Chain A
């Protein structure tokens, strides 16, 4: 299998994630779509690491996973805080910062 297949697959997964962010309005699902995009990036990193034959890309993928875990923790904390304060869980209704 050419590495190109993996890269094109990762592009497709990234596009699906980006489309999900545009379509869905629930912050929880938007976080899930961010996970999709980060994982597509991970797949591309690992595929490039295979094509160049050294393992540094895999280390990058590991660090991306750490960053994704941090993002999840903070994002879920925000969602729980919104739920507790009875703020509607819809990204269109949250517009206090709009100018």
Chain B
């Protein structure tokens, strides 16, 4: 049963990822990324990461993707040029990506970490639940938590500064002095 769920999630994740880079219209790419993120949330559930899975759906597949959808609808489909700026780029890039995959896989499969080759230890109830994650965030990783909130604030301000329409300075009508 676990195998079936894993392969269903894996096929969804890989299919979504390939669709993201293969579809020509960015709007459809964003929709494919939502499929990818949802299947990834299923995989997180299989790994006993309930809270991460829920956050993935609500924050990522929900809020962040809506942002993407709005921007891609606003910008529209920019046509990509058919010629290659670097000769052989379209041919070379998949080869390099395949080489990267093989390299990382060799590193993972050939690792001497014993724990990776098992299902992992049996975990107590409540592993990955919001309560225990929140406890870790507010005790052991409090500094990281606060830094993350500061980073979010800076990013929000930065986005407003970047994207805000420059208010055109209205030429002040000459005042009859």
Query: Which listed residue (B56, B78, B100, B163) contacts A15, Cβ 8 A?
Result: B100
Given known contacts A18-B97, A74-B158, A26 and B30 CB-to-CB distance under 8 angstroms: no
Is B152 a contact of A12 with CB atoms below 8 Å? no
Is B36 a contact of A8 with CB atoms below 8 Å? no
Given known contacts A9-B13, A69-B155, A80 and B52 CB-to-CB distance under 8 angstroms: no
Docked pose: A20 CA to B101 CA in angstroms? 13
**Majority-rule SS of B interface residues:** helix
Docked pose: A68 CA to B29 CA in angstroms? 18
Is A62 a contact of B55 with CB atoms below 8 Å? yes
Query: Which listed residue (A19, A50, A62, A76) contacts B94, Cβ 8 A?
Result: A19
Interface size on B (CB < 8 Å)? 86
Is A73 a contact of B159 with CB atoms below 8 Å? yes
Query: Which listed residue (B68, B93, B101, B128) contacts A11, Cβ 8 A?
Result: B101
Docked pose: A90 CA to B49 CA in angstroms? 38
Q: Which residues of the partner chain B approach A74 to less than 8 Å between Cβ atoms?
A: 155, 158-159, 162
Q: Which residues of the partner chain B approach A80 to less than 8 Å between Cβ atoms?
A: 71, 74-75, 162-163
- Which residue among B63, B64, B85, B155 has the maximum number of chain A CB atoms within 10 Å of its CB? B155
Is B6 a contact of A5 with CB atoms below 8 Å? yes
Is B155 a contact of A20 with CB atoms below 8 Å? no
Query: Which listed residue (A8, A20, A55, A77) contacts B127, Cβ 8 A?
Result: A55
Is A20 a contact of B133 with CB atoms below 8 Å? no
Residue of B at shortest CB range from A5?
Answer: B6
Given known contacts A13-B14, A59-B141, A26 and B46 CB-to-CB distance under 8 angstroms: no
The 6 A-B pairs with the shortest beta carbon distances in the complex, nearest first, are A19-B97, A20-B21, A15-B101, A22-B93, A70-B155, A77-B162
- Residues of chain A whose beta carbon lies under 8 Å from any beta carbon of chain B: 1-9, 11-20, 22-26, 28-29, 31-33, 35-36, 39, 42-43, 46-53, 55-56, 58-59, 61-63, 65-74, 76-81, 83-84, 88-90, 92
